[in-house]
Structure 1
Amino acid sequence: MSGIYIHIPFCKQACHYCDFHFSTSMKKKEEMVLALAKEIGMRKSEFKLPDSAQSDNTIETIYFGGGTPSVLTNEEINFLISEVYKNYNVSENPEITLEANPDDLSAERIFELSKSPINRLSIGIQSFYEEDLKMMNRAHDATEAINCLTEATKYFDNISLDLIYGIPGMSDEMWKQNIETALSFGIPHISSYALTVEPKTALRKLIDIGKIAEPQDEVASNHFMILVETLEKNGFIHYELSNFGKENYFSKNNSAYWLGKKYIGIGPSAHSYDGVKRGWNIANNSLYLKSIHENILPIETETLSKSDRYNEYIMTGLRTIWGVSLERIETEFGPDYLEYLNKQTRKFLDDDLLFIENSILKPTAKGKFLTDGIASDLFYLNLEE
């Protein structure tokens, strides 16, 4: 299978913590939609077999990310989906996800979306507390968060929502209430992330001048443990470090990334992967539009070395329930890599942060919150290819 990710580089306003690529000016939105459609057509040969008109990969997921894809009209969304169908071999029942913010999801809009090819909503709630939303400079308020979920659950079965933990001033009780509120809507998928402070964001500046407290790792770690315990008690499977889904409700789009499947990224800053090379489009709306207008793909690529592919497998494998297969390490990368991995994992096995079961390496419950740091210690560095 393969997937198509479409990056919509527009937002109504900038969240203080965000470092993704977007513009708050909508002046070029219509021009951008046409450029995205053109790039969709320009990239279709990437999934074709050599000397054949047939595709070697069926598109099983279409994902609108951003930015804020819900700033597009339903007509614009449907137009882009139709361009995918026109240029690619799409499966009979693809997962088609729209990331959306509560302020864009009026009752009328949700009903209209339910009549479109969109069959999965990923809603950026982040918190049900007004003070958190204001601190993060979200475009919606707590009432809109509640209202949109009330309406969305009437028409959509497959809904994911985002929650942020480790927010300064958020007590354990407040965090538990956020989770309980989400659960009260019967949502089958939750993505949850620690509030991180990225360089050059408004949040970084506000912390530096003392207007907002620095997030504390200890608080985030405790919130994470509460999250895991609460969701697992409620029938969720913790299938990736930041993602929890009921059975049959895992994100097919994101799971494909973690399992190393091919995907094409459309739009400014979007990334692509074909199993051997990674590519990324220019993160500049004007330059992207100029390049597409001139029939030039604004993409840079790199061919991944063996150690690059090994490191990516370690990182993604440890973050998911599928873990890292020691047999695959030996088969795909060779005995030297397996020997290195065994050596590097010893201290984590001894400290009860990792365990091995049926030749699969996974983090323990104690090690899950530390997964990214553990993975970096297992990376294979400075090797001759």
Structure 2
Amino acid sequence: MAGIYIHIPFCKKACTYCDFHFTTSTKYLNEMVEAICKEIILKKNRLAQQQIGSIYFGGGTPSVLPTAALQQILATIENHFSISSDAEITIETNPDDLTASKIAELRKLPVNRFSIGTQSFFNEDLVWMNRAHNSQEATDCIKRNQDAGFENLTIDLIYGYPLLTNEKWQTNIQTAIELQVPHLSAYSLTVEPKTALAHAIEKGKQPDVNDEQSAEQFMMLIDTVTANGFEHYEISNYSLPGKYAVHNTNYWKGVPYLGIGPSAHGFDGHDRYINIANNAKYMESLFKGELPETVEQLSQVDKFNEYVMTSLRTMWGLDLEKVAKDFGKNYVDQTQKLIKDFVADGQLINDGNVIKLTNKGKLFADGIAAELFMDEEDFR
């Protein structure tokens, strides 16, 4: 089943490390919601009558929207798409937004999964990141959701930043486990250009990220959560058995999805669609009845390379039988040649014609995938 992603471009504060598309001004919030609904209607035939198995509100911080606005968007989707009765409907939230009254309001919506941007359980780290919540709010928010009957939760954590000692990181991991959160997303801090953090590092006001620290904390995370029954099912994602994120898993498996909202990407199974990352131009186009997107036509080689990148990140791996079926024997033969050195070095294993990263290889996932990419010249 297909998915729908809605990008909500509003945040209370700008985190120092964030390079996602957002604004801290909600002046045109109502107009943005109207534009998002118009885009949903204009794209109602994009998925060729496929049933919708997941809806994901990302951002930005979707929980800053009034509940009525979320309802308006969901109602528009329901009126123009066929939604599965057991569809996963996720909303990204910040702990400070999920008050008892907000949770009570959200209970009236078909939302059944929260992704909570916790990042750390240490106040000094949250201040360093310029987060809007504190440690107590993070813990209280998780418990409050569970008490209200929302047990399908995931939290985000960040590692590899200068303030995070190994001892603090171990505490963060253990806290998540003790809170009985069934899904965890954990990301190594990356310094993105033009962010506040990048400028601070350039001026010598902050130390740069230490790759050795990030690698060590990545391995600590894998060892700790897998010892507590979690599966490391994607490079940045860990869950108890059967608690995978349906929406994100479909990304990695190449399932079509709509991308709605400024800066959102969509994929129809053949081509990729990319919305403009400018709120004013996004709304202007839609109020004219025009889609604010560009189309990236994917060649056979592009599709293969995307499959390599996404499949290698998961515990399901790169299936050579699928490669043969979807791309042809030449791609299989070339792939088998390219993996030899990585297998010999213990970074990849060939498990019954399925290529998977070892824990050692997970440290270099993107680089290994890039080495397995094809180009048009490989087939001339």
TM-score range for the pair, normalised by the shorter chain length? over 0.9
1:354 equivalent among 342, 348, 355: 348
Correspondence 1:297 to 2:291: yes
Q: Which amino acid in structure 2 is aligned with residue 12 of structure 1?
A: K
Per the alignment, in what secondary structure is the counterpart of residue 6 of structure 1? strand
Hey, what's the Cα distance between the residues in 2 that align with 1:152 and 1:190?
Answer: 16
Task: Check conservation: 1:191, 1:243, Cα contact below 8 A.
Answer: yes
Aligned to 1:137: 130
Deviation at 1:235, TM superposition (A): 1.0
Deviation at 1:212, TM superposition (A): 1.4
Aligned to 2:145: 152
Aligned to 1:209: 203
Runs of 4+ residues over 2 Å off in structure 1: 381-385
Task: Check conservation: 2:47, 2:258, Cα contact below 8 A.
Answer: no
Q: Which amino acid in structure 2 is aligned with residue 16 of structure 1?
A: T
Aligned to 1:10: 10
Q: Which amino acid in structure 2 is aligned with residue 218 of structure 1?
A: E
Correspondence 1:30 to 2:30: yes
2:93 equivalent among 80, 92, 100: 100
C-alpha RMSD of the superposition:
1.1
Aligned to 1:240: 234
Hey, what's the Cα distance between the residues in 2 that align with 1:209 and 1:382?
Answer: 42
Deviation at 1:135, TM superposition (A): 1.2
1:162 equivalent among 146, 152, 156: 156
More displaced stretch, 276-285 vs 341-350: 341-350
Hey, what's the Cα distance between the residues in 2 that align with 1:131 and 1:91?
Answer: 43
Deviation at 1:128, TM superposition (A): 0.7
Per the alignment, in what secondary structure is the counterpart of residue 366 of structure 1? helix
Aligned to 1:51: none
Give the alignment of 1:1-385 within 5 angstroms.
1-48=1-48, 55=49, 57-155=50-148, 156-383=150-377
**Structure 1, gaps ≥5 residues long:** 49-54
Task: Check conservation: 1:17, 1:198, Cα contact below 8 A.
Answer: yes
Identity of aligned residues (%): 47
How many matched pairs?
A: 378
State the TM-score, normalizing by the size of structure 2: 0.97
**Structure 2, gaps ≥5 residues long:** none
Per the alignment, in what secondary structure is the counterpart of residue 72 of structure 2? helix
Deviation at 1:78, TM superposition (A): 1.3
Task: Check conservation: 1:3, 1:61, Cα contact below 8 A.
Answer: yes
Q: Which amino acid in structure 2 is aligned with residue 299 of structure 1?
A: E
Q: Which amino acid in structure 1 is aligned with residue 102 of structure 2?
A: R
State the TM-score, normalizing by the size of structure 1: 0.96
Task: Check conservation: 1:153, 1:185, Cα contact below 8 A.
Answer: no
Hey, what's the Cα distance between the residues in 2 that align with 1:233 and 1:114?
Answer: 34
Task: Check conservation: 1:132, 1:167, Cα contact below 8 A.
Answer: no
Deviation at 1:382, TM superposition (A): 4.2
Spell out, residue by residue over 1:99-118, the C-alpha distance to the aligned partner (whole angstroms, 9 max, x if none): 00011111221222223211
